Amino acid sequence: MNQWEQYFRKVVPYVPGEQPSVPGMIKLNTNENPYPPSPKVKKAMEELDMDKLRLYPDPTSHALAEALSTVYGVNKEQIFVGVGSDDVLGTAFLTFFNAEEPILFPDITYSFYEVWAGLYRIPYVTLPLLEDFSVRKEDYYRKNGGIIIANPNAPTSLNMDLEAIRDILLNNKESIVIVDEAYVDFGGESALSLLAEFENLLVVQTFSKSYSMAGIRIGYAFGAPSLIKAMNDVKYSYNSYTMNLPSLWYGAEAVNDQAYHNKMLAKIISTRTWVIEELKKLGFTMPDSKANFLFATHKEIPAEKIFLALREKNIYVRYFNKPRINNYLRITIGTDKEMETLMSALAEILKVTSLTN
């Protein structure tokens, strides 16, 4: 080891979902939206003034914040914009989680929470989900340095009702509670309506899922003006220009086209309903999903075996080799055609596996 290496900040990094590049593949492993963004985004791309790219983007993200303000009925002073919800959440961790007491989050959830806690030297405690993967709200009625809950949760797909979130807030008035709503548009109920009641609430959402813009990297948060100011102070202390100019423009166009947004959501939810019934016919069970993915397990065939067999057919789903969830597959909802191909492949795999057992 070189002498200077002892001073490196060593962390265990987040491992993103595999990004394969195989001709003809069906990619159902990273919860991307199978449909394109709003046509207004494409139009904005075609009309982009290239001369403006020589200028720095607006550090306040005014145009995008204004569009979000109009659509969601929240003052611009209550909106923070970042490079994907990961950037927003990472900034929130750095800004708010600085107490000696540990922060709290479920043992089965978005694995980036542990990474940020390690990176920023934040003590944390993971609280076990119940056997059905639901959150026991009473577990969070204890002294802490902050709370973060993904709702709907990933990878389990389950959604907590709004009253449960409200109870957690009522019992934690002295710490910041973050509700990570990356998947809320697919059937969950947003905690946005609780902002007027709780100044310690931060609601985080993203353009990556329901707005079909994972490649553009836009995330945003809603909270009391004091929270948003604190986050901006931290952001401006290390990078004032986090959002690039095209993203700000494309994001505003996407959020202003709610008719298209709702139409695509309805298609995904309809496909999800059909896929659930087809998977059940094949012997799978799963929690009641309120996300754009399913968390499925088969009653006889191990998840890893199915995962590997699907890969051989160039169909990619997500497998987590972790305690309690190592017999589940996370399956993104794709187009109807993609899901029909998946169902045929699963039927074939299960038939072959049953004959060889």
- For 200-225, the pLDDT digits (tens) are 999 999 999 999 999 999 999 999 99
Residue 3 pLDDT? 84
Residue 200 pLDDT? 98
- Mean pLDDT for all residues in the chain: 95
Question: Is residue 223 within 8 Å of 201, Cβ to Cβ?
Answer: yes
> Does residue 27 carry a pLDDT above 80?
yes
Range 80-93 average pLDDT: 97
Can you tell me the distance from the alpha carbon of 65 to that of 319, in angstroms, rounded to the nearest whole number? 36
Residue 354 pLDDT? 66
Which CATH entry fits the domain spanning 21-36+259-356: 3.40.50.300, 3.40.630.30, 1.20.1260.10, 3.90.1150.10? Answer: 3.90.1150.10
> Does residue 357 carry a pLDDT above 70?
no
The CATH 3.40.640.10 portion of the chain extends over 39-256
Closest to 203 in 3D by CA, of 211, 214, 195, 215: 195
Can you tell me the distance from the alpha carbon of 66 to that of 128, in angstroms, rounded to the nearest whole number? 39
What residue type is 324 in one-letter code? R
- Whole-model pTM over 0.85: yes
CATH 3.40.640.10 at 39-256, yes or no: yes
Helix (H/G/I), strand (E/B), else coil: 85: helix
Range 223-242 average pLDDT: 94
| Sign of the alpha-carbon torsion through 251, 257, 258, 260 | negative
Structure tokens at 342: 């998946």
> Does residue 117 carry a pLDDT above 90?
yes
**Which has the higher per-residue pLDDT, 19 or 65?**
65
Strand order of the sheet with strand 201-206? 79-82, 219-223, 201-206, 177-180, 147-150, 103-106, 124-127
Give the confidence band of 325 by pLDDT, cuts at 50, 70, 90. Answer: very high
Residue 30 pLDDT? 95
Residue 275 pLDDT? 98
The CATH 3.90.1150.10 portion of the chain extends over 21-36+259-356
Helix (H/G/I), strand (E/B), else coil: 312: helix
What residue type is 225 in one-letter code? P
Range 288-314 average pLDDT: 97
Residue 355 pLDDT? 59
Residue 18 pLDDT? 83
Residue 167 pLDDT? 98
Residue 146 pLDDT? 98
Percent of the chain with pLDDT over 90: 89
Percent of the chain with pLDDT over 70: 99
> Does residue 353 carry a pLDDT above 80?
no
Range 95-120 average pLDDT: 97
**Which has the higher per-residue pLDDT, 4 or 308?**
308
Residue 241 pLDDT? 81
Structure tokens at 3: 């002498």
